[in-house]
Amino acid sequence: MNAIASTTESAGHGMGASRLAGAYLQEMRAEILRYLRSPGFVLPTVLFPATFYLMFAVVVGMGRGNDGARFLLGTYSTFGVMAPALFGFGVSLALERHNGLLTLKRALPMPPAAYLLAKMVMAMLMALVVVMLLQMLAVFAADVQLSPAQSLRLAVTCTLGALPFCALGLLLGTVVKGEAAPAVVNLVYLPMALLSGLWFPLSIMPPLLRWMAPVWPSHHLNMLAQSAVGFGEPGSPWPHVAWLAVFTVVVTALAARRLRRMG
């Protein structure tokens, strides 16, 4: 496996700049098309957070003002961007390791990072689609007032906010077996959303769970998303950004080390 990786790396370094860029773009295009042609991935990823938002912000919150709907926009935007990163990376990588596709990819004359970069771009594009859909529902169905600056800030925050979950999905994909991956990712995805205060306010949780909330990347992304829609905590958002950046770098390094060792 290491010999294959070395051969592939040499092939990537031997390409000219235009061929190298073309290889990355072709891998991104193939990855995006593959997921778009998989309704079992696209529909739940896009519709699940939108359905929850319609239920709780529009139907349940009808007639209660739009502050609640605006707050839930930040919450469900965070919840929505977690899925394409965790499932697009974690489940697909585990399955592709299991069925040998990753080994084949490494044997091809392509840049070694193109495979993972393509998955990352796919996850970020899906995150952007989810956030834009939620914003449309907020504005047109829940009568939420968003300035262009708030809308842009939320979209950028959540699109880039998919990166820590890409890193976590990458790590999970190197740890679990193919058949077990969906169950394991759900065991991380749903409790993390709950324990971060995405479904229930942290104020009603037991003190221990409230104290542990800042451990999860979803908590920090939610704080940034809430700040984007006007509910931010007093003070600078940069501690949340720094925590997410450190989490992304550390978890990616752990995943890359395991991927080199285990394949």
What pLDDT sits at residue 144? 93
| Residue for token pair 């003002």 | 65
What pLDDT sits at residue 18? 83
Kindly indicate the confidence band of residue 1, based on its pLDDT and cuts at 50, 70 and 90. very low
The string of pLDDT tens digits covering residues 120-161 is: 999 999 999 999 999 999 999 999 999 999 999 999 999 999
Q: Which of 48, 229, 206, 261 is nearest to 135 (CA)?
A: 229
What pLDDT sits at residue 62? 60
Give the list of residues 6+ apart from residue 195 with CB closer than 8 angstroms, or none.
209, 212, 213, 216
The string of pLDDT tens digits covering residues 58-73 is: 888 665 668 889 999 9
Give the list of residues 6+ apart from residue 197 with CB closer than 8 angstroms, or none.
205, 213, 219, 222
Is residue 78 within 8 Å of 157, Cβ to Cβ? no
Q: How many helices (H) and strands (E) does the chain have?
A: 13, 0
The string of pLDDT tens digits covering residues 94-131 is: 888 888 877 777 777 778 788 889 999 999 999 999 99
Kindly indicate the confidence band of residue 3, based on its pLDDT and cuts at 50, 70 and 90. very low
pLDDT at 82 over 90: yes
Q: Can you list the alpha helix ranges (DSSP code H) found in 37-113?
A: 39-53, 67-85, 92-98, 101-107
Question: How many Cβ atoms sit within 10 Å of the Cβ of residue 220?
Answer: 24
The string of pLDDT tens digits covering residues 167-203 is: 999 999 999 988 899 999 999 999 999 999 898 888 8
Distance CA 106, CA 8 (A): 6
pLDDT at 11 over 90: no
